[in-house]
Amino acid sequence: MLTSDSNKSEWCQSKTFILSNGVSTYDTHSYAVLGRTGIGLGNYEADIASEQATVSYFGTRCQSVIVWNRAGPIYIGGQCAVAVGVISKVFRILEAIEAAPSGLGLKSICDVTRLNKSTAHRFLKHLEREGYLIRAEGSKYLIGPKLSQMGARADHRATLQAVSRPILAELWKSTRETVNLAALDQGSVLYIEVLESPHEFRLSSRVGSRRSLHATALGKALAAFLDEKHRERILSGLNFQALTPNTIMNLVQFRQELEKVRRQGYAVDDEEVTLGARCVSAPILGSDGEAIGAISVSGPVTRVGREQVGALSAAVVGAAKAISSAMGFHQEAPAIEMPRQIHSVRS
């Protein structure tokens, strides 16, 4: 039977409620509660992704809850006092401030996040008190030292590697050539993931090995999509060493190559590191359009002919955009769909 108002205090004293309906993140639902005295109706609000929930029974907030859907329990928690969407709102504030190097005032934050003034002010004061934000001159809020330190300690390469693996595996299946993931490190190309071709005759690099920026397709893709100041700093320290007769050997020629890479969206190593080897690479772009890494497909010229560069570049660019999206960065152009098979007719 349904409980009445006279039973609500007893219900909330029982502390643990079982909610029997399915839920959606940030939605509010009616629920049926199983307790000591019967079945009651109320409102359930939850952000399942962050394991936070608020349960009210006839307007009274309860301390713990078990949420059930058809598959069984999907949330078991205690001290559920965080309102719906709080974490989402906090992230919206942080993202807005992070995107403004000179900081944002309360009104600008409200305009960007579409939060009302009192809500935004309450969150800002709490974040400032905890050291995640600082308030500068003119009452502008900036990212604080605690948040900056958390970001500095994060291993971004490990995240990139983990997110990239399934996409690299698909690229490897479609090309059957060696697939590489690399990042820019101290002015050189650092290999952080390598999937070797199943062919007996193949190209390969070791994870942790480094190669020159000016000769590799990976290096060109990384350098071409840096901001101008960062790129010029890297270029000023380049040592143009000849690896093959095809290696670019001067800064003027390399700048022209980088401009070509920016226009077409991918880079090619045409026997510039090793004679008889060809490589096609594309950058993994962050939200600001700068390269956070690059991927490539490499193989012997007997299988990776010039006539295949077009198909390989489409596959590599598509995979790079898929990784960027999986990392949470949104690109303007849609990702290019990878062909199912790109095997050489000479393989």
| Per-residue pLDDT at 146 | 83
In DSSP notation, 173-216 reads: HHH-SEEEEEEEETTEEEEEEEE--SSSS-----TT-EE-TTTS
Q: For residues 298 and 282, what is the distance between their CA atoms, to the nearest angstrom?
A: 12
- Asked if pLDDT for residue 6 goes beyond 60, the answer is no
Domain edge (last residue) among 127, 152, 177 = 152
Q: Any idea which of 75-79, 99-103, 215-219, 328-332 has the lowest mean pLDDT?
A: 75-79
pTM metric for this prediction: 0.62
pLDDT digits (tens, 9 = 90+) for 248-290: 999 999 999 999 999 999 999 999 999 999 999 999 998 888 9
Reported as type and span, the H/E element at residue 285 is strand 277-285
CA distance 80 to 86: 13
CA 140 from chain centre, in angstroms, equals 28
Please check whether residue 265 lies inside any domain of the structure. Answer: yes
- Residue 188 has a CB neighbour count (10 Å cut-off) of 18
Q: Are 124 and 106 in contact (CB under 8 A)?
A: yes
Residues 49 and 180 in one domain: no
Based on DSSP, count helices (H) and strands (E) in the chain, helices before strands. 10, 15
Tens digit of each residue's pLDDT (9 = 90 or more) over 109-128: 999 999 999 999 999 999 99
199 pLDDT above the threshold of 50: yes
Same domain, 178 and 312: yes
Higher-pLDDT residue of 50 and 316 is 316
Per-residue tokens: 131: 């050291």
Q: Is residue 331 part of a domain?
A: no
Distance CA 70, CA 77 (A): 18
Reported as a pLDDT band with limits 50, 70 and 90, residue 101 is: confident
* Residue 205 to residue 65: CA distance in whole angstroms: 52
- The angle formed by the CA atoms of residues 175, 316 and 288, to the nearest 5 degrees, is 160
Nearest-5° Cα angle at 157, 237 to 266:
65
pLDDT of residue 131: 87
| pLDDT at residue 80 greater than cutoff 70 | no
Residues 111 and 231 in one domain: no
123-152 tens-digit pLDDT:
999 999 888 898 887 789 998 888 877 776
- Output the pLDDT for position 331: 56
Please report the pLDDT score of residue 41 as a whole number.
34
Question: Are 172 and 91 members of one domain?
Answer: no
Residues 189 and 54 in one domain: no
Domain final residue, candidates 59, 78, 97: 78
Contact indicator for 281, 211 with CB cutoff of 8 Å: no
**Residue 112 shares a structural domain with residue 58:** no
Please determine, for residue 55, whether its predicted confidence score (pLDDT) is greater than 60.
no
CATH code at position 142: 1.10.10.10
65 and 96 assigned to the same domain? no
Task: Tell which residue, 314, 324, 273, 316, has the closest CA to residue 296.
Answer: 316
Please indicate, yes or no, if residue 343 is contained in any of the structural domains.
no
Dump pLDDT digits (tens) for 279-299: 999 999 988 889 999 999 999
Domain range for 36 is 5-78
Eight-state DSSP code of residue 237: T
- Classify residue 346: in a domain, yes or no: no
What's the pLDDT tens digit per position in 11-50?
A: 333 333 333 333 332 233 333 333 322 233 333 333 333 3
CA–CA gap between residue 209 and residue 194 (Å, rounded): 11
